[in-house]
Amino acid sequence: MTTTEAPAGSPAAFLYRHPRARLTGLLALPMTWLVLLYLVPIVLLFVTAFWTTDSFTGNLQRTFTLENFARVLDPSQPFLTTALRTLAVAVSVTVVSIILAVPLSLFLAKIAQPRWRPLLVALVVTPLWASYLVKVYAWRTMLNPEGGFLESTLGFSTGYGWVAVVVVLTYLWLPYMVLPVYVGMQNVPPSLLDASSDLGARSWRTFRSVLLPLVKPAIIAGSVFTFSLSLGDYITVQLVGGKAQMLGNVVYGTFATDLPFAAAIASLTVLIMIGYLAAISRTGALENL
Amino acid sequence: MILSRTAKWTLGAVFALVMLFIYVPLLVVVVNSFNVSLTFQWPPPGFTMEWWARAIDNVGVREALLTSVGVALIATTIALVLGTLTAVALTQYAFFGRQSISLLIILPIALPGIVTGVALNTMFTSWLGGLTYLTLVVAHATFCIVVIFNNASARLRRLGGNFVEASMDLGATRTTTFWRVTFPNMRSALVAGAVLAFGLSFDEIIVTTFTAGPGIQTLPLWIFNNLFRPQQAPIVNVVAAALILVSILPLYLAQRLSDDQTGDR
């Protein structure tokens, strides 16, 4: 090599000869930050889930116990019901998002004029960047049972409750489903669909037997977002859920007084997510993320 | 794909309905910000600019806006440095543990916000002497890193190693090569990443709730704290409307500046 390097013995020359040192130099700062300020607190939180709080002094008792998890799963306590409801909400949001996103993406990818396509896609995606809180707020004014928009114009509103939570969470996370599904549909070669028609299949048959199996990985990829984002939410529930409570609300309500229990619930949501990811990683959809 | 006429019309109708579903709530907020009625009577009995004028004069709103912008600027700057360093390391070197590092970077936005929030809150309050402005900035910077990292690594991968090799064959040192070749090629991706990171920090509410020091209010926190006060309703609505109008801008900028943005958050 005929590189005119910095003089031997200078720091630059040392780095030139030691790629390991260069790598360490690059990663030292970001890794210190992420490990000390993020990973350590997260790991400690999971460890705390196995401790308890002394009910008299409020101090942490650092001895291993499964008490918190037993309390979550105890049928006489309200938490198991809350966990199942949270799961039901996350699943409903995902299903509704799929039902809306598939025809929407089909329209965008295969019917809309190519000239208009970028604009239409932007129209679908733009709300993704509007503030989360503002969108939930917008739905509060929509659904308000006393003189909200739906009530005054249609004379009907679901009011605040579980239905409202599913509607608003679907509203919030729908773009995360539309984007992968739309990209997935665009990647399906038109020749395959033409071949299906040539062989005599009608629209529905082509859709069911050719298009849908091909975009299934994209749908699964989108469901990771809609499912996990719904699972951890608590602010939407606070604002439009009425008396409804999800796991996130339990964490929020207990973390100041009983950190180990809050940590156990938080770990439970993460466990559910990991379980979901593990279940779908076998489908190969994760490479689509 | 050969679709029947009915199928095309049905799909078109679904598209139109979803568009209504997406835009009607946002439009209602914007129209309501001019609504004369204190209780957002619909259809509005009349229109006024009064709420906008009052919101602009509102000290709480102005302070919250300044806090939000300040936090987002500092957090974005930190994330720019940390995200770029990691992206360069992970795209240009193959080493053991690379996969774990990319996982670690994504974790702060992949885990539910409440988990991150509680974990950071516990660390800050029990070891680092409580919540301040700084703890809020640290928390925001942590989840902003991934956005910069995604943009920077997508650009670096597409750039390939040829330019860097050519530059070094011509005698440039690594440092010179970075500043004269790599960095200028990354610049637009970094700006796009910075816009997204700024937006992410500006909007964040969950981690913010857990890490903001006492008395520190970002704009989302201000909205949240005033949401249940009926006399503040028109002002809250103006702030919401303003945020909706402003949110169109970063999207436009990010789309212009970055061509490798597709599905990433």
pLDDT at A55 over 80: no
Mean pLDDT of A98-116: 90
Cβ neighbours of B119 in A, within 8 Å = 38, 41-42, 44-45
Sign of CA dihedral B193, B194, B195, B196: positive
Which residue out of B84, B101, B118, B138 would a mutagenesis test of the A interface target, given it has the greatest number of A Cβ atoms within 10 Å? B118
| Architecture of the B60-257 domain | Orthogonal Bundle (1.10)
Asked if A3's CB is within 8 angstroms of B240's CB, the reply is no
Radius of gyration of chain A (CA): 25
Q: Which residues of B fall within a CB distance of 8 Å from A108? A: 15
Residue A1 confidence (pLDDT) above 70: no
In a mutational test of the A interface, the residue from B6, B8, B15, B164 whose CB has the highest number of chain A CBs within 10 Å is B15
Inter-chain CB proximity A133 and B223 less than 8 Å = yes
Report the interhelical angle of B233-257 vs A132-143 (nearest 10°). Answer: 130
Q: Mean pLDDT across the stretch A140-155?
A: 83
Closest approach of A86 to chain B, Cα-based (Å): 13
Using the predicted structure, report yes or no on whether residue A246 has a pLDDT greater than 80: yes
pLDDT value at position B263?
40
Q: Which of B12, B119, B220 sits opposite A42 (nearest CB)?
A: B119
Q: Is the pLDDT of residue A135 over 90?
A: yes
Partner residue opposite B118 with nearest CB, options A34, A112, A262? A262
User: pLDDT (tens digit, 9 = 90+) per residue, B180-228?
Assistant: 999 999 999 999 899 889 988 998 999 999 999 888 999 999 999 999 8
Q: Which of B24, B138, B237 is closest, CB to CB, to A37?
A: B138
Cα distance from A193 to chain B (closest Cα, Å)?
A: 5
To the nearest whole Å, the CA of A151 is away from the closest chain B CA by 9
Residues of chain A with CATH 1.10.3720.10: 79-288
Distance separating alpha carbons of residues A176 and A97, to the nearest angstrom: 9
How close, in Å, is residue A75 to chain B by CA atoms? Answer: 24
Structural domain boundaries of chain B?
60-257
Query: In angstroms, what separates the C-alpha of B238 from chain A's closest C-alpha?
Result: 11
Which of B8, B19, B89 comes nearest A26 by C-beta? B89
Yes or no, beta carbons of A179 and B123 under 8 Å apart: no
pLDDT of residue B239: 93
| CB within 8 Å: A130 and B243 | yes
- Residue B252's pLDDT is what? 66
Write down the pLDDT at residue B257.
Answer: 61
Q: Which residues of A touch B240 (CB under 8 A)?
A: 131, 134, 137-138
* Residue tagged 């599913």 (tokens): A166
- Best mutation target, A34, A102, A134, A208, to test chain B (most B CBs within 10 A): A134
Closest CB from B8, B12, B114 relative to A251: B114
Is the confidence at residue A100, as pLDDT, over 60?
yes
What pLDDT does B264 receive?
40
CB neighbours of A198 closer than 8 A, spacing ≥ 6? none
Question: What is the distance in angstroms between the Cα of A65 and the nearest Cα belonging to chain B?
Answer: 20
Report whether B1 contacts A115 (CB < 8 A): no
User: What is the chain B residue with the closest CA to A60?
Assistant: B126
- Using CB atoms, pick whichever of B10, B169, B262 lies closest to residue A179: B262
Q: Please tell me the distance in Å from B62's CA to the nearest CA on chain A.
A: 17
| Res A287 pLDDT > 80 | no
Give the distance from residue B121's alpha carbon to the nearest chain A alpha carbon, in angstroms. 9
pLDDT averaged over every residue in chain A: 86
Average confidence (pLDDT) over A182-195: 90
Of A138, A49, A6, nearest in space to B244 by CA: A138
Among A264, A56, A226, A107, residue whose Cα is nearest residue B13: A107
Task: Give the pLDDT mean for A85-106.
Answer: 95
> How far is the C-alpha of A174 from the C-alpha of A237, rounded, in Å?
17
Share of chain A above pLDDT 90, in %: 41
* Inter-chain touch A266–B93, beta carbons under 8 Å: no
CATH placement of domain A79-288 = 1.10.3720.10
Return the residue in A36, A149, A152, A268 with the most chain B beta carbons within 10 A, the one to mutate for interface testing: A149
List pLDDT tens digits, range B109-128. Answer: 888 889 999 999 989 988 88
- Give burial (CB, 10 Å; 0-12/13-18/19+) of B89: buried
A183 interaction partners in chain B (CB closer than 8 Å): 262-263
Cβ–Cβ gap A23/B22 under 8 Å:
no
- Which has the higher per-residue pLDDT, A151 or B108? B108
Residue of chain A minimizing CA distance to B142: A34
